[in-house]
Amino acid sequence: MGIETLTFGCRLNAYESEVMKAEALKAGLDNAIIINTCAVTAEAVRQAKQAVRKARRDHPDAKIIVTGCAAQTEARSFGDMAEVDMVIGNNDKMKAASYTPMVFGTPLNDKVQVNDIMSVRETAGHLIEGMDGRARAFVQVQNGCDHRCTFCIIPFGRGPSRSVPMGVVVDQIKKLVDNGYGEVVLTGVDITSYGGDLPGLPSLGKLTQSILRHVPSLPRLRISSIDSIEADEALYDAVASDRRLMPHLHLSLQSGDDMILKRMKRRHSRDDALAIVSKLRTLRPDMVFGADIIAGFPTEDDEMFDNTLRIVEEADLTYLHVFPYSPREGTPAARMPQVDKGVAKRRAAMLRAAGERQVAKLQASRIGMVESVLIERDGLGRTEQFLPVAVAGTQPGELLAVRVTGAGTDGLVGEPVRDAA
């Protein structure tokens, strides 16, 4: 069966799964399933364990390897699973050597290979030729996080913030463009902290400008989730000056209430978030925003939640990633007075409904417009604002002018403008 990867969680994990597969093949591993886990919620961990059990049922003879953030933070619980052959920590999962000497069926202490992630000080830039079957490719520019939000376990799964040197990032993007990729997405755990550990302290904005300057043949550059309070002036300049930087940013917002933001130990206020959104829209009027939002954070009352619900429309947020709060053992928020789980779920449902209304409004505003669409797989592409568009008769990798003719339940519908310049 070769090597199969199952990926949970963020875009960074998707990138890392490609690297792990390449490294494992280099090491000569075969007949294996690598499960790259996420630890952001208790539900994510539960789903990973469910996937382990299913993988064993479906492939009784395969080697089952568990890695990723949940494997880092809960190594013992995965190691205790009879279905698992090896647990590999985040620091070692993208190294061929981690897959070379594998002796499966060994005692428990041998099959758990998880080191102290907090001692890691460097992140390597892994050159990959592309992502299987996609016109978009993710490039890791940063890993880890130095902040300590009270709800978050991820710093203990990823370690301290560390950056990939600008030259390495630029070289990888050049390679991806040479291989036909029309869009590159910069990704990491806390990418707006980029460069704080590098000589000269380059920022995310400086990195973005360097990519756009040194890879003139790159059609599209997209930035993944950012901590908006850390955005630097060079990033604002890039947004304003180069149309190849896509008008779509995903904000690590988490809440729209100032008291909850303080209890989360976030570094922005409600007004900060609104001001940053306004500034970016002034620079780029077609800019759209997504956001991560937690519903039912400890101590959140109805008025606090209403502040969060209202900011969806006030900031005109569109793509919402909504999570009912999930206590993570070892985090300060887990010791705070908890909101009833049923209340948290209802609030999450209200936020998701608000997000769906916002997406429908954005889609309706694009009908009749001509959009630049990158086809990612047969007949389906994305606009610059990340809206999905069905375009019949197209092939992956095509970058087309498309007239939007309507909107359906799964996104927009359009047709190529063949005579467009």
**Would you say residue 125 has pLDDT above 70?**
no
pLDDT band for position 108 (cuts 50, 70, 90)? very low
Q: How many residues does the chain have?
A: 421
pLDDT score recorded for residue 22: 84
What count of other Cβ atoms lies within 10 Å of the Cβ of residue 122? 11
Q: 257 Cβ partners below 8 Å, 6+ apart?
A: 270, 300, 303, 304, 305, 307, 308
Whether 18 contacts 52, CB under 8 Å: no
**Would you say residue 174 has pLDDT above 50?**
yes
Q: What is the per-residue pLDDT across 222-238, written as a single tens digit (0 to 9) for each?
A: 998 888 888 899 999 99
Instruction: Report the distance separating Cα 50 and Cα 224, nearest Å.
Output: 28
Q: What is the per-residue pLDDT across 340-396, written as a single tens digit (0 to 9) for each?
A: 999 999 999 999 999 999 999 999 999 999 999 999 888 899 999 999 999 998 888
The per-residue pLDDT of the chain, averaged, comes to: 87
pLDDT score recorded for residue 115: 58
Going by C-alpha positions, the residue among 385, 399, 229, 251 that lies closest to residue 311 is 251
pLDDT score recorded for residue 107: 44
Of the listed ranges 72-76, 284-288, 307-311, the least confidently predicted one is: 72-76
pLDDT band for position 12 (cuts 50, 70, 90)? confident
Of the listed ranges 39-53, 250-264, 370-384, the least confidently predicted one is: 39-53
pLDDT band for position 90 (cuts 50, 70, 90)? confident
SS3 92: coil
